[in-house]
Amino acid sequence: MSDARSGAVPDLTTVPDLVAEADLTAEAAKLDADDGLRDKRELFVLDETVYLDGNSLGALPAHVPGRVADVISRQWGELRIRSWDESGWWTAPERIGDRIAPLVGAAPGQIVVGDSTSVNVFKAVVAAVRIARAADEGRDEIVVDATTFPTDGYIAESAARLTGCRIVPVAPGDVPGVLGERTAAVLLNHADYRTGRLHDLPGLTRAVHDAGALVVWDLCHTAGALPVGLDEHGVDLAVGCTYKYLNGGPGSPAYLYVRADLQPRFDSPLPGWNSHAEPFGMRPGFAAADGAVRGRVGTPDILSMLALEAALDVWDGVGVDAVRAKSLALTDFFLRCVGAYVPQGRVESLTPAAHAERGSQVALRCAGAGDVMRRLIERGVVGDYRAPDVLRFGFTPLYVSFGDAERAARVLADTLD
């Protein structure tokens, strides 16, 4: 039997007798007993449900309600306006950004938290075009991931209209072939939201830089699940949400990364009083603040922002490399269980076999996927469905166990049978 950590993924069109007869339940128990992250599971509010939708909304860290209650009752209820200074509300966007920074491989002072992912994509893409054009006015193309989450495409098209650029949609693997002297900015997703396929951030970043352009990475489906290495790979700008693998809560604020040496040239298309050099000067003319503060716009969403800050406590003492190792082991093991349990020919894995190309989710193509997922949820296995035929299972290593993976595959098999 192949080891769960080997990276070998079975051909799901066949069911080898040895795997079919293996005691995968016992193996799951042993893997859970050896799991160095197993104690983190106790930090979350969980029940008997197998929750494999953390790539849409992360589970609630158990201590967050108490912290939010303090923000509401004491900081807001008692201190009121004094909390902007005494409770640190004013500096929260940068303070929380510095807590996210090590999870995406960034030094402090380069991430600001606030607004939605869509708003931050808009800021980043327009700013990238402006920086590129300041050096070369002839750059008038924005290359965008043709397989991207739809909103990123909508935002890129709006940014193109605003800046007078044209959009060049292309699959991530084909990006190097369309880059040239007219390329201003490139917007890419680190992982495909449907299949979980991981794109080559280091290689594509180098290719964009070799063409004299800037790159913007969307980290929504990777931050908190695997190493990103923003500083190491010289990424220009990046954005991401915090309600998936970072467990910040529904609608929790997104973040914007601006590489330190680009910050003096970061010209936001949404300047606001919070990004002014003298925010309380109330001057009619705008003068941008120094550093990542330039990425701010208006008054921060304090309640959701401080809920996120509390949620990040679950990362204390956790290395992203350990999270990545467990993620790969979990997805390998789940695919083995699917291969052993699910009737032949009923599902097809869209998840890359190679670890270097895999995020932290498993996508299975399945006839009647929407109805299958509805029945799975009724039976206590929560994933999600992507039209027209994809079952999507997200694996959050801080709280998903190998026992969860085995049970999910078993219930899937029973449902399809």
Structure tokens at 314: 């679950």
For residue 86, the model assigns a pLDDT of: 98
Q: Among 145, 192, 218, 384, which one carries the catalytic annotation?
A: 218
CATH 3.90.1150.10 fits 17-62+318-416, yes or no: yes
Nearest-angstrom CA–CA distance, 100 and 259: 14
Residue 158 DSSP SS3: helix
Set 44, 122, 193, 243: catalytic member? 243
Residues 230 and 222: beta-carbon distance below 8 Å: no
Q: What is the pLDDT of residues 57-103, one digit of tens each?
A: 999 999 999 999 999 999 999 999 999 999 999 999 999 999 999 99
What is the band of 4 on the pLDDT scale with cuts at 50, 70, 90? very low
User: pLDDT category, 417, cuts 50, 70, 90?
Assistant: confident
Does residue 5 surpass a pLDDT of 60? Answer: no
Pick the CATH number of 90-299 from 3.40.605.10, 3.40.640.10, 3.30.70.260, 3.20.20.150: 3.40.640.10
Q: What percent of the chain has pLDDT over 90?
A: 93
| Ordered alpha helix ranges (H), 4-116 | 17-21, 24-33, 64-70, 83-86, 92-100
> What is the average pLDDT across 229-253?
98
Report residue 236's pLDDT band, with 50, 70 and 90 as the boundaries.
very high
393 given a catalytic annotation: no
Average pLDDT over the chain reads 94
Residue 148 confidence (pLDDT): 84
Closest CA to 377 of 25, 60, 41, 51: 51
The catalytically annotated residue of 392, 395, 404, 410 is 392
Position 177 scores a pLDDT of 98
Measured CA to CA in angstroms, residue 218 lies from 57, 130, 385 at distances of: 17, 19, 21
Q: What is the pLDDT of residues 141-184, one digit of tens each?
A: 999 999 888 999 999 999 999 999 999 999 999 999 999 999 99
Whether the per-residue pLDDT at 1 is higher than 50: the answer is: no
Predicted TM-score (pTM) of this structure: 0.94
Q: What is the pLDDT of residue 2?
A: 37
Clarify whether 218 is annotated catalytic: yes
Burial of 267 (0-12, 13-18, 19+ CB in 10 A): middle
For the cut 90, the answer to whether the pLDDT of residue 20 exceeds it is: no
Cis peptide before 352 (omega within 30 of 0): no
pLDDT (mean) for 34-53: 98
Is residue 38 predicted with pLDDT exceeding 60? Answer: yes
State yes or no: pLDDT of 385 exceeds 80.
yes
- Average pLDDT for 324-343: 97
Q: Is 149 a catalytic residue?
A: yes
90-299: same fold as 17-62+318-416? no
Q: Where do the structural domains in the chain lie, given as residue ranges?
A: 17-62+318-416, 90-299
Out of 149, 266, 333, 385, the active site residue is 149
- Is residue 245 part of the annotated active site? The answer reads no
Please tell me the predicted confidence (pLDDT) of residue 22: 58
Q: Over 60: is that where the pLDDT of 15 sits?
A: no
Map residue 113 onto helix, strand or coil: strand
| 416 or 11, higher pLDDT | 416
Residue 8: pLDDT over 60: no
Q: What is the CA radius of gyration of the chain?
A: 22
Q: What is the mean pLDDT of residues 242-259?
A: 98
Is 280 annotated in the active site?
A: no
Q: Please tell me the distance from the alpha carbon of residue 266 to that of residue 247, in angstroms, as a whole number.
A: 29
The catalytic position among 40, 130, 197, 244 is 244
According to the model, what pLDDT value does residue 409 have? 97
Contacting residues for 136 by C-beta, under 8 A, at least 6 apart: 181, 212
